[in-house]
Structure 1
Amino acid sequence: MGWGKIRRGFRRARLSWTNDDRTVAVGVCAAQLPAAWLLSLFSGSVEDDYGVGIGGPALGLGLACALLFAPLVLPILGLVQTVAQITPAALLAHLSVRRLRGPGWAWHLLYVVLLGACWAMLPAAWWGRPFTATALVLAALGTLPVLGVAYARRRARATERRWGALGVWWRGGLGCFGLCGLALVGGLLVTATGLIEEYEPPKLSAAQLAGLWRGDDGAALKLLPGGRAQLTDLPAEPEFGADSAEDFEVCDGMGTWWLDTEGRDDRWGGQGPQERDGVVVRLDDDCAEQTYWTIGGTAHEPELFVLFGDPDAGDLRILKRD
């Protein structure tokens, strides 16, 4: 008896969530993603980008590809969000309305937030992403589709006419441009007013840098007071002219280190591309050339990093204090 009522309840919930509702949800989900991407660019300025980025002709080509493939990719991403977050929340909201009463859109928003928190556990567990920030982003991305579906339903009841797929998508296109404009203006305003401050790398003394730094694959760099260094499976710049397909060499042994506070690298005649403080490590043997480890992270959690290979898409190696 109990299971029969539950099955009937879920069946009514599925019937309450129509194809028109799904179409509106997918359209709104897809329309908001470019604006969310723009906002992520502004928020990303408060974090260390480790010098990884695309600029010049590569940036223009990347934007051209994004514009070309956006009409194909955005509907797919909108469908994924609708299936994973918006639709399950709608079914749970319908059951809650029947049993507990209250506005359906409010229940829908509540379950969208809860499902966003559940999905945020995956990147937090697998990739170490901050759970709270990810959950808030997913909750924000779920809010507009819920309100869009509620508005479309109310309009359909008032006019006794529903939007077709074509009507949803051309309105979604207009909304996409409007949201992108708002995101761009808002991002520029908060940046200009100082509400979002650009990332500033920490300033560390030689005494603060001394100690053990560890990276991936067992890499370790021990900076000893007095300028000596001990390397274990540490990636380093390959020798000039070396016949190797690798962008770095893995070295062990002893060497020297010093703090460069002028943002320069002797390998480039003192006029290199570095713009931050860094640690120059040179081995005693001929395993590799000296390597410039740039200081990054924060004052509480400092890091040393180096980018091997192509500056736009190289191999980033990071060392963290042990």
Structure 2
Amino acid sequence: MGWEKTRGTLPDTGPTWAPDDLSAAAALGGAQLPAAGLLWWIYDSTTQDSYGAGLGGALGALCFLLFAPFLLPILGMLSAFVLTLPSVVLARLAGRRLPGPGWVWHVVAPVGPALFWGVPACVLFGWPLGTAVPALAALGLLPTLWVGLARRRGWRQWGVWWRAAVGSVVLFVLAFGGGVLATETGLIQEYEPPKLTRAQLAGVWHGPSGAELRLHPDGSAEAVKLPAQPPFDDDHFRDYVVCRGSGTWEPDDDSGGTERDGVLLKLDGTCGEDTFWSIGGSEGAPELFVLFGDPDGGSLRILKPTRG
């Protein structure tokens, strides 16, 4: 690939980076983000519970693409300082002191910054280490190789940026095709809500702001600060009302139009209409949820079972 030739023909910058390296790192660092974002969206929307939301984040993605020409250079510069340039320095240090082709160290080097940032991210935000580190390393891989390629070819800054722009389109198309293929072939498993029996549904479910729903095995129910569908003649156009009282419940197979099993709750009195709570979550951590109001921007309320 000419990496050894590069060492002999370019000025010796030592274990550091030059201004042209920063430009190349920022160019491809930003150029790859639309493809990376698309892959993340495909994976997240396929494997995670959307809770009946209409567009599943697609509207936000369209807004991002609209402002991409302004955001990508800034994000590319950030990724250059955080991931790419440290990887370039590590690769050059390894190439000077260890045997092997230069491109190998450019492939391996992004693991270092990925570990440096990935471990604190896991501690602070609870991200899985096995996901955060490979994802960060992948984001640093192509720009690190791109810096070496730009140095070897001697591209000027405008040449680096227009090639990165073309590469961005190519990467986006490849990401779209790969994502669709992965979902259609089952490589990315589609989310399936758990199947809960009547006995599993019975119990105490709690939610934010002190919301509580008690489902008794005999079909009776008690609610405390529980969101419910507003009355049909509600003049305030509220997404939901908060109710307290008793009523009845029964398992239901999609009377709420969510294509899921759930619980149909009927509270006594005049507070709220019958409310269908859909089943979500997983087998080990089931949930009941309702998306009140507009499916594209409504109020999501989730109940979780009380353990012990």
1:105-184 equivalences in 2 (<5 Å): 109-110=107-108, 112-121=110-119, 124-125=122-123, 127-155=125-153, 162-184=154-176
- 1:8 corresponding residue in structure 2: none
- 1:264 corresponding residue in structure 2: 255
1:12-91 equivalences in 2 (<5 Å): 16-44=16-44, 45-54=46-55, 65-91=63-89
Q: Tell me, yes or no, if the aligned pair for 1:112 and 1:139 is still in contact at 8 Å.
A: yes
- 1:290 corresponding residue in structure 2: 274
Paired residues in the alignment total: 293
Alignment of 1:255 onto 2:255: no
How far the C-alpha of 1:76 sits from its partner, in A, is 1.3
- Give the letter aligned to residue 16 of structure 2: S
How far the C-alpha of 1:127 sits from its partner, in A, is 4.9
Q: Tell me, yes or no, if the aligned pair for 1:13 and 1:91 is still in contact at 8 Å.
A: no
CA distance in 2, matches of 1:128, 1:310: 31
- 1:317 corresponding residue in structure 2: 301
CA distance in 2, matches of 1:22, 1:302: 48
* SS in structure 2 at match of 1:316: strand
CA distance in 2, matches of 1:219, 1:110: 50
Residues 214-223 or 298-307, more deviating: 214-223
Q: Tell me, yes or no, if the aligned pair for 2:106 and 2:145 is still in contact at 8 Å.
A: no
Segments of 5+ residues of structure 1 without an aligned counterpart are 1-11, 156-161, 266-272
Task: Label 1:34 to 1:318 Cα distance change in 2 as closer, same or farther (>3 A).
Answer: same
How far the C-alpha of 1:13 sits from its partner, in A, is 8.3
How far the C-alpha of 1:311 sits from its partner, in A, is 0.8
* SS in structure 1 at match of 2:251: strand
- 1:159 corresponding residue in structure 2: none
How far the C-alpha of 1:169 sits from its partner, in A, is 1.3
- Give the letter aligned to residue 299 of structure 1: E
More helix per residue = 1
- Give the letter aligned to residue 152 of structure 2: R
Task: Label 1:193 to 1:96 Cα distance change in 2 as closer, same or farther (>3 A).
Answer: closer
Alignment of 1:278 onto 2:262: yes
Alignment of 1:219 onto 2:220: no
Residue 189 of structure 1, aligned match among 181, 192, 198: 181
Q: Tell me, yes or no, if the aligned pair for 1:24 and 1:149 is still in contact at 8 Å.
A: yes
CA distance in 2, matches of 1:127, 1:179: 29
Alignment of 1:302 onto 2:302: no
1:96-149 Cα distance to aligned partner (Å, 9 max, x none): 666x54566655655532432343356545554433222221121111111111
CA distance in 2, matches of 1:217, 1:114: 43
CA distance in 1, matches of 2:291, 2:213: 16
Residues 194-203 or 72-81, more deviating: 194-203
- Cα RMSD after superposing both structures: 2.8
Q: Normalized against structure 2, the TM-score is what?
A: 0.83
* SS in structure 1 at match of 2:32: helix
- 2:5 corresponding residue in structure 1: none
1:187-240 Cα distance to aligned partner (Å, 9 max, x none): 222222222232221111111111222222332222211112222322222222
Task: Label 1:163 to 1:300 Cα distance change in 2 as closer, same or farther (>3 A).
Answer: same
